[in-house]
Every structure is written in structure tokens, then in C-alpha cells.
Amino acid sequence: MPKFDAQGVLPAIATDVHSGEVVMLAYMNAEALARTIETGIAHYWSRSRNKLWVKGETSGNRQRVLEIRTDCDQDAIWLRVEVEGHGASCHLGYRSCFFRRVPVGEAARPELELAHTGEARAFDPGEVYKKDT
């Protein structure tokens, strides 16, 4: 049985099946997990909007789920996905939400040390999300 937390969700990691990159971390409640399993399209639970959310429903960048794994204590999910549309999972237009690097071994001030990986955007969020924030 998946172990949802006190808010009824668990973290879901999405990796791109082609690049191997971690593209996103989001949350699933029981319904999002069930719909993902049934449909093979990633569904998440938006904790800010308090609603079920099909990733890519606005941008077209839906995530086709090729494999689902769960961890030893069943409180996390790993999805291996193929991203439709622009092939980008970040709402800022990048393939991966993890487009900033924190240098290792530097003074412990991550807030000052972020560096862009240099990856280009795959889409222009201003164009794609006309009504979204």
C-alpha cells in the first residue's frame, strides 16, 4: 500500500526516459496515482491549487509514463516518462525544473551560489501559458 502523508500526498519524481535527467518533483494523492496507473499519463495533485492536475494539459507537454517504481517504504514514487509537445517539464520552459546548480564544497550559502546550467528554454512560457500565472 502506498503511504500518503498527513496531507494525503506523496512525492513523485519524474525522470526523462531518453536523457535520464530528473525533470520534476511533484506530489500525488491517491486519485492522481490511480489515474496515472490507469491512463499511463502523469497526473499530480496541486498542493497550491488544491486540485488534480494533468501535467501538460495547458502546454501540451504531457508525460507518457513508461514505468512506475515505488521505494522500499512505499512513501515515494518514481516515474520514467516520455514528454510530449516541446519535451519540456518545467513551467519556465526548460526540459527539467532542475536547471540550477549549487556548487559543492563551497561556503554553505546555497542562496548565493546558484548557477544556471546554461540549458536553453524549450519553449517560451509567455507564449504557452496565456492565462496561467
Q: Tell me which residues touch its own copies (CB under 8 A).
A: 1-2, 11, 13, 15, 20, 22, 24-25, 33-40, 65-73, 76-78, 90-92, 94, 97-108, 110-111, 113-114, 117
Least distance (Å) between residue 22 CB and its own copies: 5
CA 12 to chain centre: 7
Nearest CA-CA partner of 18 in 95, 76, 77: 95
Least distance (Å) between residue 21 CB and its own copies: 9
Q: What are phi and psi of 122, to 5 degrees?
A: -90, -20
Which CB atom, from 70 or from 85, has the smaller least distance to its own copies? 70
Which CB atom, from 8 or from 103, has the smaller least distance to its own copies? 103
Nearest CA-CA partner of 26 in 7, 47, 1: 47
